Chain A
Amino acid sequence: METIAIRYCFKFEDDTQEIFNLELDANNLEIVGNAPAILPQWTNLDFHQCPHCPLNTNTHPNCPLCVNLANVVRRFDSVLSYDQVQLDVITEERCVSQQTTAQRGISSMLGLVIATCGCPHTIYFKPMARFHLPLSTEEETIYRAASMYMLAQYFLEKKGKTVDIELKGLRQIYINIHLVNSTIVSRLRVASKTDSSINSIIMLDMFAKAMPYVIEEHLDEIRYLFAPYLLSADTG
């Protein structure tokens, strides 16, 4: 199986480090080999199951998202969200290094894990995971998510399907993600001793909360980037 490797290396101020070697199946962009051998009880599908979860316990005894969070939560259980870390993210194409807080670093990694875990509500983010941008800012995420969704509309249009240039579908995806995040935090409150994992999901949720507003306002926050297109349309 061909895989895409992404390494997250967290170095803490006390010289300890945590290294995660994440691998994605290159064909279906699902994360592989990330589940612990023994799954904790809080990963059971029916434990704080999302109200809009389409899975059932017969086919999925465990929540695919929680299964992939379990190792991360356990390994960061002594870390405080605002602890400083030196983060190195290494992919085949490049290395990104930044001094940041634990919650930002973990949040960046969880964004990748959640998009590729197989949760029916997060699968739409697989194209973004393929071109993972570590520690992306709010504006970068708005740009990337909107671009990804518009590209999906292009492919739908090529298949003769109805397209959604108002981004209503993207807005709904993010509303669903907010619900997933809220439920995951409920699970983590049981699973986690410190706040780092919880706050990392909360950070991701801030992106999820932003998008519906930004879409309602016709992406005004990134409109300025397209001035050359808009200008040539006005003059042409």
Chain B
Amino acid sequence: MKKHQVLIVDDEQLVLNAIKRTLRNENYTTHTAQSGDEGLTLLEGYNVQLVISDYSMPGMNGHDFLKKVKKDYPDILTIMLTGHTEIEIAVSAINEAGVYKFILKPWEDADLKITIKRALESLELIKERDSLAKQVKDKNIILQNLEEEYPGITKVERDEDGYIILNDK
């Protein structure tokens, strides 16, 4: 299975250490940054699938950072860590920054691990869905082209060798 890359952003090194320890035995590559700006720089250099960011940081706060991540990297899923429980922060993070999940500090390690696992699984499902949708779209285009070239086709099937048989009776 592909090794996912996770970026963790928090202004406190202790928090970064704690999350890294929690994920030490998981099949992820972890990157850490102590500010939103540093996080954005790291995103330019690594193919990150998931970003976990603190909310309360000096300079660019977690909300603004994740909003920027969503804008520049729409395929990346984001999780916000916070000691706050204000509903306004949660609503705005979900609506404006597209945050996948909130985790309250101090977190339970088992909860954090399962949240990350589910986030990455959902990312894989989204990719699979998009890939299947593309396949269907491509096939429809082929069929449309065939219909244009051979109007009146009533049946398209493959023979034993995989060749397309057009039945235009």
Contacts and interface: CB of A to CB of B under 8 A. Distances in A.
Size band of the interface chain B makes with A: 10 to 19
Contacts of B129: none
A138 B14 CA distance: 7
A198 B86 CA distance: 13
A210 B21 contact: yes
Interface of B is mostly: loop
Contacts of B106: 178, 181-182, 185, 201-202, 205-206, 209
B147 to A, nearest CB: 62
B105 interface: yes
A103 B21 CA distance: 22
Contacts of A181: 106
Nearest to A198: B83
Interface residues of A, number: 22
Contacts of B84: 189, 195, 198
B11 interface: yes
Given A205-B105, A205-B106, A206-B17, 6 more contacts: A82-B58, A178-B106, A182-B108, A185-B83, A195-B84, A209-B18
Interface of B: 11-12, 14-15, 17-18, 21-22, 24, 56-58, 83-85, 105-106, 108-109
13 contacts: A82-B11, A182-B106, A185-B83, A189-B84, A195-B56, A198-B83, A202-B15, A202-B105, A206-B17, A206-B106, A209-B106, A210-B18, A213-B22
